[in-house]
Chain A
Amino acid sequence: GESVGLHLPTLSVQEGDNSIINCAYSNSASDYFIWYKQESGKGPQFIIDIRSNMDKRQGQRVTVLLNKTVKHLSLQIAATQPGDSAVYFCAERTGANSKLTFGKGITLSVRP
């Protein structure tokens, strides 16, 4: 069946380095993608989104890249800070009124 998954369960980075979190999706019909950050005991927090007609979108310290050819989505965090430590989820949607499907999540751990 269709699925959204992440390559790595955990990622450890040094404070100040750049982080890259990857996500693979299998539904070629997905037209909208979102990255969420979830801290322990809290709900997911919107980070950045991208539509399928784009291949790159930048926010504050974050960049999302979409490669539709290989069905790959990535989140880049510049100058990673301790406050970035959390679980990150990618999510995809197929069609304007359809539900979001979440990936498995990856834990980002920032070393001081």
Chain B
Amino acid sequence: GAVVSQHPSRVICKSGTSVKIECRSLDFQATTMFWYRQFPKQSLMLMATSNEGSKATYEQGVEKDKFLINHASLTLSTLTVTSAHPEDSSFYICSARTGREKLFFGSGTQLSVL
């Protein structure tokens, strides 16, 4: 299947700093990428849909100024958690859709804010 690379896999940062997470589709072009958040023992919650060359569409309750998404190319989307706080600590996962229906996921990023 298609490969989606997500980096970093784990990051620890101080409260108030910003963290950038990258999501790359390695062997296909992804016009649409999705960002999810997952708390321990819970399901995936969609945060936003990222379309190449346009502004991301955020789900209700997700602060777009807090979670900045950039989808500058067909193979790269980034999520920046700005002014991170301990409550932002979570597992963040990106996914990319191929031209067909299947959605492939990155390996996730565990963010810990101290």
Contact = CB atoms under 8 A, between A and B. Distances in A.
Interface of A: 32, 34, 36, 41-46, 49, 89, 93, 96-97, 99-100, 102-105
Contact of A46 (B44, B102, B107): B102
Given A49-B101, A99-B49, A44 B1 contact: no
A46 B104 contact: yes
A99 B46 contact: yes
Nearest to B38: A38
Interface residues of B, number: 23
B93 A43 contact: yes
A25 to B, nearest CB: 14
A99 B60 CA distance: 14
Given A89-B44, A103-B43, A104-B43, A41 B103 contact: no
B103 A46 contact: yes
Interface in B34-54: 34, 41-44, 46, 49
A45 B103 CA distance: 9
Contact of A102 (B43, B104, B106): B43
A3 B77 CA distance: 28
Nearest to A89: B43
A104 B45 CA distance: 10
Given A49-B102, A99-B34, A100-B103, A41 B108 contact: yes
Interface in B79-107: 91, 93, 95, 101-107
A43 B91 CA distance: 9
A89 B105 CA distance: 13
B70 interface: no
B106 A43 contact: yes
A44 B93 contact: yes
